[in-house]
């Protein structure tokens, strides 16, 4: 479910066969308006990921920074022009639990 202030995790797979993990916090969600031009407008309603993808939502995220090989992610946000740490969480594990 995509919603403002929720975290999303994206796994990428490169040509060398390596997975990489990215985590971001949803800051803004835009969907097409029902008007003639169909321009993008802000929405604050939660939406399932598959539905957002099918409807071509635009999701803006602030991404967590990876801190070293330990897999800990730290959220870096900008407040009044200065970077601040907004929190962190532990290592991300693959869906199979890392076994």
Distance from CA of residue 46 to its chain's centroid? 14
Residue 36 confidence (pLDDT): 81
Cβ neighbours of residue 35 closer than 8 Å, sequence gap 6 or more: none
Residue where the block lists tokens 């993808």: 53
Question: What are the tens digits of pLDDT across the range 69-91?
Answer: 666 666 555 545 555 444 444 44
CA distance 28 to 30: 7
3-state secondary structure at position 50 = helix
Q: What is the rounded average pLDDT for all residues in the chain? A: 74
* pTM of the model as a whole: 0.61
Binned at pLDDT 50, 70 and 90, residue 25 comes out as confident
How much of the chain is helix, strand and coil, in % rounded to 5?
5, 55, 40
Per-residue confidence at 34, pLDDT binned at 50, 70, 90?
confident
């Amino acid at each position: 479910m995509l919603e403002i202030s929720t975290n999303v995790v994206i796994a990428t797979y490169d040509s060398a066969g390596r997975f990489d993990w990215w985590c971001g916090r949803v800051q803004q969600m835009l969907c097409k308006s029902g008007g003639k031009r169909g321009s993008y407008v802000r929405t604050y309603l939660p939406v399932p990921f598959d539905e957002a993808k099918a409807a071509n939502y635009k999701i803006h995220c602030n991404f967590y920074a990876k801190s070293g090989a330990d897999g800990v992610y730290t959220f870096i946000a900008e407040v009044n022009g200065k970077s601040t740490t907004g929190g962190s969480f532990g290592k991300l594990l693959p869906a199979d639990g890392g076994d």
